[in-house]
Amino acid sequence: MVIHGGIDGFSRMVTFINLALDNKAATALEPFVQGCQEFGVPSRVRTDHGRENLDIATFMITHRGANMGSIITGRSRQHNFEETNELHLWCLHYVYVPRIKAALRVFKEGWNNHSLSSAGGKSPKQLFVMAVLSQAGQDHRGIDDLFHHGEEINEIDMENYGID
């Protein structure tokens, strides 16, 4: 099991968080795209060097263009759990996956709506909205995309995405 998540760098708002049963690139891309549908495509994404981020990097380069600094990679901080007994692993998944997913949804909502003393009591969600509104129309591609819908993320053919 692996948790994929994204945090807005300015507001610290959780834009997506998901528990997955594998660490494949297509699996990591799915919650990222859902976050983009909800909050818009970011101007930049920072990931580690893992192969699970290749589809996200491809998405960003395709969406923002090559040599635009839209994907930044760095070191990884990860913790792995190895389980060899398939029955035990299946039982862990059956019991805990739905609970962990529900807890992640509650965490995301709680985090995004809690007040930050360093931000004058505003929540990450309030900071995000304030930043979007203050930067709209100032040639900030990631923000302007929220208001001027060119190619909708929903219209991207995810079945054939990245296949030439």
Q: Residues 13, 112: contact at Cβ < 8 Å?
A: yes
Examine residue 163 and state whether it is found in any structural domain, yes or no. Answer: no
Q: Is residue 109 part of a domain?
A: yes
Count of domains in the chain? Answer: 1
Residue 10 belongs to a domain? yes
Kindly tell me the burial class for residue 159, based on how many C-beta atoms sit within 10 Å of its own C-beta (0-12, 13-18, 19 or more).
Answer: exposed
Q: What is the pLDDT of residues 16-59, one digit of tens each?
A: 999 998 899 999 999 999 999 988 888 888 888 888 989 999 99
CB distance 41 to 70 below 8 Å: no
- Residue 19 CA to chain centroid, in angstroms? 12
Measured on CA atoms in the order 30, 42, 14, 36, is the torsion positive or negative?
negative
CA 4 distance to own-chain centroid: 7
- The answer to whether residue 162 is domain-embedded is no
Residue 143 sits in a domain whose CATH number is: 3.30.420.10
- Give per-residue pLDDT as tens, 79-93: 555 566 778 777 778
Task: Kindly state whether residue 81 falls inside one of the protein's structural domains.
Answer: yes
Is residue 57 domain-resident? yes
Domain membership of residue 14 as a residue range: 2-155
Q: What is the pTM of this model?
A: 0.62
Domain membership flag for residue 69: yes
Reported residue count of the chain is 164
Domain contains 13 = yes
